[in-house]
C-alpha cells in the first residue's frame, strides 16, 4: 500500500515538473519574441524637419547635422514643388508655379570618417506617406512634351495607412512610396541643379528604392553631405509625364561608412536582387554604363572573370529604365537576382 502511494506521488511530481517546464518554455519563447520585436523596432537618434532644406547639390552647402557612422535619422520631406500646391489647388495654379524652389532637400548630413573614395551605405528602414499628394503635367516638362502639350492636375488624399488610390472607377494604383532624390555632395562648390541624376545620385527617380532597400553612394567630399527629398507615393519606371504622385514623406534611414570599397555611381540591393545604375544623356549609353558596373561588381564580389561576368549579365541581368523625364538625362539600372548569385 505504502509502495503504491509513493509511486503515485512520484508520477504526480513528474507531471508537475513537466507542466512547469512547458510554462518556462512558453515564457522563454515569449521573452525571445519580445526581444526580437524590440530588435526590429528602429529608434531614430536624430530628427530633421521639413524646413531644414536646400535645393542644390554642392560641397559648399553647410551641413545641418553631424553624425557618426551607424547613425539612425528620422527626416520629414516636403513635396517636390515646396508647398506651392495644396489640397484645394486647380489646374489654373500650374500657371503660377515658380521652379526656383523645386526639390527642397532635407539635409545635408555630415557623416564623420566619410572621405572621398569611400562608400556611404544608406539603409531605408521606414518610408511613410504624408496626408496628400498630386500628379501634374506641366507644359514643356515631360518625356514626350513635344507631342503632348496640355496641362493636368490631380490631387490625391493620402495617409500612412493607405495602400492604393483610385485613378478612376476601374483603375486602382498601388502606393509604393520612395525618395525621388537622394544623394551626396559632388566634388564642386558650384550650386548644381537637382533636376538631373549624376554620379552622386540626385534625382534618380527609381521606384525600386522603397522601404527596406539599401543604397550605396560613392563619397566625393569629406563627410559625404547626404540629402533627401522629392517624395513619391507612386510612380512607374520612367516618370514619363514629368511627375509621380508627389507627396511629403516621413523617412527613417541609417548611414554607415564603408572603407576599402569604391564605386563610380550609386548601386543598391533589395531582398531579392542586386542592382547597378548608370546615368547618361541617352538610354543606350546609360544602359551600357549600368552593364559595365554590373560586370565590375560580379568580378569583384563573385570572383568571375570579365567574360564570365559579361555572359552572366546576358543570361540573368535585367536592364530597367529608372527615369526618362529629365530629358536629356536618363537613368538605367541592371538587376541580377540574389537567388542566381547564391546570396541568401
Round to whole Å and give the CA distance between 325 and 145. 10
Residue with more model confidence, 75 or 35: 75
What would the grid cell of residue 287 be?
544602359
Round to whole Å and give the CA distance between 323 and 283. 10
Q: What are the Cα distances from residue 206, in Å, to 4, 194, 198, 276?
A: 77, 15, 13, 12
Round to whole Å and give the CA distance between 241 and 237. 11
> Is the confidence at residue 56, as pLDDT, over 90?
yes
Q: What is the DSSP letter of 260?
A: S
Together in a domain, 110 and 230: yes
Q: Is residue 39 part of a domain?
A: no
What pLDDT, on the 0 to 100 scale, is given for residue 344?
83
What pLDDT, on the 0 to 100 scale, is given for residue 327?
87
What would the grid cell of residue 198 be?
549624376
Round to whole Å and give the CA distance between 97 and 113. 41
Q: Is residue 37 part of a domain?
A: no
Q: Given pLDDT bands bounded at 50, 70 and 90, which one contains residue 246?
A: very high
What pLDDT, on the 0 to 100 scale, is given for residue 2?
46
Residue with more model confidence, 25 or 108: 108
Q: Is residue 165 part of a domain?
A: yes
- Alpha-carbon torsion 302, 211, 288, 335, what sign? positive
Residue pLDDT, tens place only, 165-220: 999 999 999 999 999 999 999 999 999 999 999 999 999 999 999 999 999 999 99
Domain coverage including residue 317: 271-344
The neighbouring-strand residues paired with 246 are 134, 232
Q: Is residue 13 part of a domain?
A: no
Q: Is residue 320 part of a domain?
A: yes
Residue pLDDT, tens place only, 103-131: 999 999 999 999 999 999 999 999 999 99
What pLDDT, on the 0 to 100 scale, is given for residue 41?
81
Together in a domain, 214 and 85: yes
State how beta strands 119-129 and 214-218 pair.
antiparallel
What would the grid cell of residue 170 be?
476601374
Out of 17-31, 128-142, 144-158, which region has the weakest mean confidence (pLDDT)?
17-31
Radius of gyration of the chain (CA): 25
> Is the confidence at residue 33, as pLDDT, over 90?
no
What pLDDT, on the 0 to 100 scale, is given for residue 40?
63
Q: What is the DSSP letter of 62?
A: P
Q: What are the Cα distances from residue 153, in Å, to 58, 88, 92, 242, 245?
A: 32, 11, 9, 12, 10
Q: Domain total for the chain?
A: 2
CA triple 172-175-179, angle to 5 deg? 145
What pLDDT, on the 0 to 100 scale, is given for residue 196?
93
Together in a domain, 181 and 294: no
Round to whole Å and give the CA distance between 19 and 288. 66
Q: Is residue 221 part of a domain?
A: yes
> Is the confidence at residue 28, as pLDDT, over 70?
no
Q: Is residue 102 part of a domain?
A: yes
* Average predicted confidence (pLDDT) for the chain: 90
CATH number at residue 154: 2.60.120.580
> Is the confidence at residue 3, as pLDDT, over 50?
no
- Taking the complete model, does pTM exceed 0.85, yes or no? yes
- Cα dihedral 87→93→97→103 (10° resolution): 20
> Is the confidence at residue 14, as pLDDT, over 60?
no
Q: Which of 233, 260, 287 is the last residue of a domain?
A: 260
The neighbouring-strand residues paired with 110 are 66
Burial (CB < 10 A; 0-12, 13-18, 19+), residue 87, is exposed
Across the range 91-96, mean pLDDT stands at 94
Quick one: what percent of the chain has pLDDT higher than 90? 85
Residue pLDDT, tens place only, 305-334: 999 999 999 999 999 999 998 889 999 999
CATH number at residue 333: 3.10.28.20
Amino acid at each position: 500500500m505504502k509502495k503504491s502511494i509513493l509511486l503515485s506521488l512520484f508520477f504526480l511530481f513528474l507531471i508537475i515538473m513537466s507542466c512547469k517546464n512547458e510554462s518556462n518554455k512558453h515564457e522563454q519563447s515569449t521573452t525571445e519574441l519580445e526581444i526580437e520585436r524590440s530588435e526590429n523596432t528602429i529608434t531614430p537618434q536624430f530628427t530633421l524637419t521639413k524646413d531644414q532644406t536646400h535645393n542644390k547639390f554642392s560641397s559648399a552647402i553647410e551641413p545641418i547635422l553631424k553624425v557618426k557612422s551607424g547613425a539612425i535619422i528620422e527626416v520629414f520631406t516636403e513635396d517636390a514643388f515646396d508647398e506651392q500646391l495644396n489640397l484645394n489647388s486647380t489646374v489654373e495654379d500650374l500657371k503660377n508655379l515658380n521652379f526656383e524652389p523645386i526639390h527642397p532637400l532635407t539635409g545635408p548630413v555630415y557623416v564623420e570618417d566619410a572621405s572621398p573614395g569611400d562608400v556611404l551605405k544608406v539603409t531605408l528602414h521606414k518610408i511613410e506617406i504624408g496626408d496628400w499628394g498630386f500628379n501634374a503635367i506641366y507644359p514643356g516638362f515631360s518625356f514626350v512634351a513635344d507631342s503632348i502639350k496640355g496641362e493636368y492636375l490631380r490631387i490625391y488624399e493620402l495617409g500612412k495607412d493607405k495602400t492604393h488610390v483610385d485613378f478612376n472607377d476601374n483603375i486602382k494604383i498601388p502606393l509604393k512610396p520612395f525618395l525621388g532624390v537622394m544623394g551626396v555632395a559632388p566634388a564642386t562648390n558650384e550650386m548644381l541643379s537637382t533636376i538631373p541624376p549624376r554620379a552622386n545620385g540626385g534625382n534618380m527617380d527609381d521606384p525600386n528604392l522603397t522601404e527596406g532597400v539599401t543604397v550605396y553612394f560613392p563619397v566625393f567630399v569629406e563627410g559625404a553631405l547626404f540629402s533627401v527629398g522629392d517624395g513619391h507615393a507612386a510612380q512607374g519606371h520612367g516618370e514619363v509625364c514629368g511627375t509621380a504622385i508627389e507627396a511629403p514623406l516621413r523617412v527613417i534611414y541609417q548611414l554607415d561608412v564603408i572603407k576599402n570599397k569604391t564605386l563610380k555611381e550609386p548601386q543598391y540591393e533589395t531582398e531579392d536582387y542586386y542592382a547597378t545604375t548608370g546615368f547618361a544623356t541617352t538610354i543606350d549609353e546609360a544602359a551600357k554604363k549600368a552593364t559595365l558596373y554590373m560586370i565590375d561588381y560580379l568580378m569583384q564580389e563573385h570572383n568571375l572573370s570579365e567574360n564570365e561576368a559579361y555572359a552572366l549579365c546576358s543570361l540573368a541581368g535585367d536592364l530597367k529604365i529608372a527615369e526618362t523625364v529629365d530629358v536629356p538625362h536618363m537613368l538605367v539600372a541592371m538587376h541580377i537576382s540574389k537567388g542566381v548569385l547564391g546570396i541568401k
